Amino acid sequence: MRHLAIVGSGPAGCYLADQLLRLVPDARIDIVERLPVPFGLVRYGVAPDHQATKAVSRLLDRVLARDEVRFFGNVEVGRDVRLDELREMYDVVVIATGAPRDRRLAIPGETLPGVAGSAAFVGWYNDRPDCRDPGLRDVREAVVIGNGNVAIDVARVLAKTPGELAGSDLSPQVHECLLAQPIETIHIVGRRGAADAKFTRAELAELGRLEAARPVVAEPQALEQAEPAGEAAAIVALLRGFAQDERETRMRIVFHFGATPVAFEGSGRLESVRFARAGGETLVLPAQLAVTCIGYEAVDCCTAAAGAGVFANEDARIDDRLFVAGWAGRGPSGTIPTNRSEAQRIAQRIAVDFADRGRGGGEALAALLASRGVRVIDHAGWRRIDSAEVARAGAGRCRHKFASTEAMIDAAATR
């Protein structure tokens, strides 16, 4: 019997487990997750109002439910078990921990209260236990830096009415906090031109259907000069439509292009964001909240170092019997389905080196964790957490997530 451990239970890890079991039927796969709950980016990165996207978790859960797969939740590599110990217990180890850390702009004022990276901000409104409350206070103007779908998600969640958020899994506490902000303007600012924006048509079009907010373009004349092709042409066409929309709404979402952030400004708290433009021009936008959506980086996994935001690898291989999958290896690119196609390739690569070396596998790991007093949450425990979150949802939402690991562990223990 061959034993493999995957560190991380997001789409990359779950899809890889599924593909490996297709290639190696006698494999036993253990998925090690530092949180008590699985699914990583699907649970904590996808916007709470995009439940159709989050529904992929049902497919991932079928992988965790297989007899050949064992879920070790609430187990952190480096805290509860060392990476070298895993490599001794398993024939192959795969790091699939994603890219959980925000890239930084490295400009003045980035640590001011009111400035947040999108991983931290999205994690907060998705109730990720390790993301603290950003302390929103009297936010009238918000600046979202970036021209990708995450920037659109942040703006949309800030702009939606209670009715539009019905059926989401936005928690009551976060919802109340957002509703308390007297937001009038949300600026979405990109360094490049409109034709270079990385929005998808579906995400961008959704902003044009909001009840209380109207998307506008700060400099519509720049759109007339653009002559893109393909997907970029569709994006520019949508933006041109926004520029012609003259509805009266309580809130505006203003697109700015060709502006590079140079400083967050304020005395003790964010007050404005300064941008540089071509020709030496300056753009200063008042703001009480700024969210940077400029990408993410992998973080070290115990003794395995993530340099330049990813784990250095050659065709997914880091070292002898040590591999990487997902954003941890390729960087924050692609969509959730991208992990499925990548998993097919990586599984084939791993299968070449996947020999039975008489390792202890999951039984050895369980014994080691028990000796250290680690409270492991298995798949049945996760299912109890899942049921409890759905049961406590109340009217108007599909789920009310537990926001602390302690609450999750308590729910897992309730039978």
CB 155 within 8 A of CB 118: no
CATH of domain 104-292: 3.50.50.60
CA-to-CA distance for 287 and 136, rounded, in angstroms? 12
Dump pLDDT digits (tens) for 100-126.
Answer: 999 999 999 999 999 999 999 999 999
CA-to-CA distance for 50 and 29, rounded, in angstroms? 30
Give the class (CATH, top level) of 2-100+298-413. alpha beta
CB 6 within 8 A of CB 13: yes
The residues pairing with 368 across neighbouring beta strands, listed in sequence order, are: none
Task: Say what the pLDDT of residue 244 is.
Answer: 87
Token pair of 176 as six digits: 């109340």
> Which has the closest alpha carbon to 273: 149, 130, 109, 406?
109
Say what the alpha-carbon torsion angle 145, 309, 45, 127 is, to the nearest 10 degrees.
Answer: -100
Q: What is the DSSP letter of 338?
A: H
Residues 6 or more apart whose CB falls under 8 angstroms from that of 290 comprise 114, 115, 116, 142, 143, 144, 145, 264, 270, 273
CA-to-CA distance for 317 and 120, rounded, in angstroms? 29
Q: Starting at the edge strand that comes first in sequence, how are the strands of the sheet with 282-286 ordered?
A: 259-265, 272-277, 282-286
Q: Which residues in the chain come in under a pLDDT of 50?
A: none
Domains in the chain: boundaries:
2-100+298-413, 104-292
Phi, psi at residue 169, to the nearest 5°? -110, 30
Dihedral sign for Cα atoms in the order 300, 305, 307, 313: negative
Residues 6 or more apart whose CB falls under 8 angstroms from that of 118 comprise 102, 146, 150, 151, 154, 291, 292, 293, 294
The residues pairing with 69 across neighbouring beta strands, listed in sequence order, are: 29
Q: What is the DSSP letter of 384?
A: H
CA angle 96/100/101 to nearest 5° reads 135
2-100+298-413 against 104-292: fold identical: no
CA-to-CA distance for 352 and 348, rounded, in angstroms? 7
